[in-house]
Amino acid sequence: MSLKILTRSGLRSHHLTTARIAPARRWSSSISQRPGSDSVRFPGAVNSKFTTQMSFLKASDLPAIPTYRVMDSDGEMVDKTRPAPDVTDEEVLTWYKNMLSVSVMDVVMFEAQRQGRLSFYMVSAGEEGITVGSAAALTQDDVVFAQYREAGVFQQRGFTLKNFMSQLFANCNDTGKGRNMPVHYGQNYPRMVSPSTHHYGTANEELEADKTTQHTISSPLATQIPQAAGAAYALKLQDLQNPNRDPRIVACYFGEGAASEGDFHAALNIAATRSCPVVFICRNNGYAISTPTLEQYRGDGIASRGVGYGIDTIRVDGNDVFAVNEAMKEARRLALSEGGKPVLIEAMSYRVSHHSTSDDSFAYRARVEVEDWKRRDNPIIRLRKWLENQGLWNEELEKTTRDEMRKAVLKEFGDAERQQKPSLKEAFADVYEEITEEQREQMAELKRILETYPDEYDLRPYKDGIKGLD
């Protein structure tokens, strides 16, 4: 089985742009209809043959887009004749541990929410392979826009348990300053300058370039998708202006439900027309809260839409971390080829979990369906089988690793829960670059209320107490 990304290169090949910024053109200088021509020369469709057969394309007559797979559900290579995945044992073990760590954290935090220790949580059970496998193909310079079920991306890119817990408990170490609901992680790490990314631009630009960025999660669905296209365009221009640096892409995650939003369609089209180096990764997990895919769309998944927008597209088995990783590596390469272009990956999985802690999915799907998926196929179990087949893992390692992880999660959980909340001024700061005169007055008024009615408020959890409003 070979990795084949659907492309429209046949249509494009002789129109490759010389200037990398100019949009790819679909027509040469003249679009006039030649007499006797057998194909369309309208500006809106080129190379379309005339036909005397009236036939409507029927989606149901077209073959479904195949699903790329490397490893089967027993952890064996599907195609024994192909080389093994191009990844070291050490890397695979890291992936496995990252998937496991997210899974262990999920179990603890789901239960913690049930006990009222935090207001909300979302697990990624069944989707750890997609997030970890794809993030592993990114460089630290690549930028991520995620939805809300991508803890694995954060984990793989260096987000620590302390980072996770600080956000979940909205404490003073949370980069989101205690403002966002749990699981709305964000990251913009300064990090070591890698050998390939030194000496360019001003000090300021250098600072920007040396961060690993995952933009903070926003709850509204699909809003990040067109933003990812714009961000990718920004990276493309900046990287052209700094030819010494390694080119970067944007990776954008979303679910199949979000792909029904107008923003998804706008994003793919604008990314295609502006040739943006962005990889769109759709996690198709079968459910948008209660709505099954049958009521979400009638076409061939999300992948078929990519083709419609002229975007190179592949569908992969999301429970197969190798397939995801290989597809992402190739997608990244494609996104940076030909002056930049978007790529769409549709990664198939099953949402084993409830949508969130606010949801009871057994109100709309059978428990047996979920149990069946849990048992039959699961990205973690599949990779574990592969590792065991290679002699890299065993029951003993599994047990000690899980125990260590659980202890680590609980330690950070306890530490984060005990931390103070950020200062009260953070309620007003960052709306504007500077707190406005009107807000200052409101802060003073709030302070007066807190001082006049001290029995009505508990300020002890907040850093600096009432002084936080000064």
**Which residues are identified as catalytic?**
111, 219, 355-356
Under the binding rule (CB under 8 A), the answer on residue 381 touching another protein is no
Nearest partner of 232 among 264, 279, 191, judged by Cα: 279
Q: Which is nearer to another protein, 125 or 335 (CB)?
A: 125
C-alpha to C-alpha distance for 176 and 184, rounded to whole angstroms: 8
Window contacting another protein (CB under 8 A); options: 51-59, 104-112, 334-342, 387-395: 104-112
Q: Which stretch binds another protein (CB under 8 A): 22-30, 110-118, 135-143, 199-207?
A: 110-118
Q: Which is nearer to another protein, 129 or 255 (CB)?
A: 255
The answer to whether residues 99 and 152 touch, using CB atoms and an 8 Å cutoff, is yes
Of the candidate residues 120, 210, 234, 240, the single one contacting another protein (CB under 8 A): 120
Residue 279 phi/psi, 5° resolution?
Answer: -110, 115
CB of 254 to another protein, least distance (A): 11
Least separation, in Å, of the C-beta of 296 and another protein? 5
422: contact with another protein by CB under 8 A: yes
Q: Which two tokens stand for residue 134?
A: 């794809």
Contact status: 437 vs another protein (CB under 8 A): no
Could you tell me the smallest distance in angstroms from the CB atom of residue 303 to another protein? 17
291 binds another protein (CB under 8 A): yes
Could you say whether residue 6 binds another protein (CB under 8 A)?
no
Q: What is the distance between the alpha carbons of residues 444 and 414, in angstroms, rounded to a whole number?
A: 34
Binding of residue 37 to another protein (CB under 8 A): no
CB of 446 to another protein, least distance (A): 6
Place of tokens 């002890």: 460
Specify the amino acid at residue 426: E
Question: What is the nearest approach in angstroms of another protein to the Cβ of residue 134?
Answer: 22
Query: What minimum distance in Å lies between the beta carbon of 146 and another protein?
Result: 15
Q: Is residue 178 involved in binding another protein (CB under 8 A)?
A: yes
Take residue 204 and report the two structure tokens written for it. 């300021």
Does residue 290 touch another protein according to CB under 8 A? yes
- 291: β partners: 288
Strand-by-strand arrangement of the 67-68 sheet:
67-68, 312-317, 343-348, 278-284, 250-255, 143-145, 211-214, 187-190
Q: 254, 224 in Cβ contact below 8 A?
A: yes
CB 247 within 8 A of CB 138: no
Minimum CB separation of residue 425 from another protein in Å reads 10
By CB under 8 A, residue 364 contacts another protein: yes
**Smaller CB distance to another protein: residue 210 or 398?**
398
Binding of residue 270 to another protein (CB under 8 A): no
| Phi, psi dihedral angles at 194 (to 5 degrees) | -85, 155
- The residue from 99, 258, 334, 405 that contacts another protein (CB under 8 A) is 258
Q: Segment contacting another protein (CB under 8 A): 39-47, 127-135, 219-227, 339-347? A: 219-227
Of the residues 210, 246, 261, 398, which one makes contact with another protein according to CB under 8 A: 261
Sole window of 43-51, 58-66, 76-84, 179-187 interacting with another protein (rule: CB under 8 A): 179-187
Q: Contact between 107 and another protein (CB under 8 A)?
A: yes
Size of the site for another protein (CB under 8 A): 68
One of 117, 162, 211, 385 touching another protein (CB under 8 A): 117
Regarding 295 and contact with another protein (CB under 8 A), the answer is yes
Residue in 41, 179, 211, 385 binding another protein, rule: CB under 8 A? 179
Would you count residue 42 as binding another protein (CB under 8 A)? no
Name 342's Cβ contacts closer than 8 Å, sequence gap at least 6.
229, 232, 268, 271, 272, 275, 276, 277, 278, 279, 280, 311, 312, 335
Kindly list the residues in this chain that would bind another protein in the complex (CB under 8 A).
107-108, 110-112, 115-120, 169-170, 177-181, 184, 218-221, 257-258, 260-263, 288-291, 295-297, 358-359, 363-364, 406-407, 410, 413-414, 417-418, 421-422, 424, 426-428, 431, 436, 438-439, 442, 446, 449, 452-453, 455-458, 461-462
